[in-house]
Amino acid sequence: MTADKYVVAGNPVEHSRSPDIHAAFAKQTGQDLDYGRLLCPLDDFEGQLRRFATQGGKGCNVTVPFKFEAYKLAKTLTPRAQLAQAVNTLRFDADGWVGDNTDGVGLVRDIERNAGRPLKGLSVLLIGAGGAAAGVLGSLIDAGPARICIVNRSRDKAEQLQASHTHLGVPLQVGGLDDAPAEQDVVINATAASLAGAGSPVDARVLKRGGLALDMMYGPKAQAFLDWAARHGAEPRDGLGMLVEQAGEAFHFWRGVRPDTAPVLAALRAQL
């Protein structure tokens, strides 16, 4: 019997650590799967995915820039995918594709379990209002912070994100980058600034000494933000833990088995 096939689909994908992560999960849990990378042309994401599914693929993770397109391809959506209006995990069921978004739960688990920062009652600053921010805001709200502020270069996008989440009951403030409030317990960079190796898009006054400053990127791309946070007295954290935790949730979505993420994250950290 051949192993069940999964991939990470995106453009680019050659840098992705997802194959290493899922191989470790499979070995740990005794699951028989083969996980690879699928580079999708920018104009043929759907075609590439459908060919993979036709050839026996069971599911995929979706990375930039296709999460919104994956949302449209899913026949059924989980509540968190519906809220985010973006999909990072697809399961190719016989009666139609099912879309989920595991980014938010991955981020919250990393902050609360791995970084040891329960979010209940804290102040959270979310920088950015694009797909990355939309994917995590619902889970951040569910964690019960006292308040969340969303700031973005274009204020209207922050307002759109606010409007789609106000029914969840946590007060959401919005503004431009210059409106970011001072001394936040947790600062999360969900912008693309780190892709260009840039530092923080907001002023250092947002940081609280001893607070947490997390960039969703990891590796060299996140280093400028991490250095900025450390210089101003915050605890810097990259997105590697979020990556591993969201992968663990995706693995459970596909296989019905929840892996132990801690040793996998430790092994990846040792390789950086």
Residue 102, helix vs strand vs coil: coil
Report the C-alpha gap between 157 and 162 in whole angstroms.
Answer: 9
Strand pairing category for 207-215 and 184-189? parallel
Contact 176, 125 (CB under 8 A): no
Closest of 201, 40, 72 to residue 133, by C-alpha? 201
Angle, helices 18-29 vs 240-255, to 10°: value is 50
The tokens for 247 are 């992968």
Strand pairing category for 96-100 and 76-77? parallel
Strand pairing category for 57-62 and 89-93? antiparallel
Q: Which residues belong to the annotated binding site?
A: 16-18, 63, 88, 103, 128-132, 216, 218, 239, 246
Closest of 242, 214, 241, 243 to residue 228, by C-alpha? 214
| Residue of 5, 27, 58, 67 marked active site | 67
Q: Which helix (H) or strand (E) holds 107?
A: helix 103-109
Contact 268, 238 (CB under 8 A): no
Name residue 24's amino acid.
A
Confirm whether 157 is a catalytic residue: no
Match 């970011």 to its residue by tokens.
Answer: 180
Active-site residue numbers?
Answer: 67
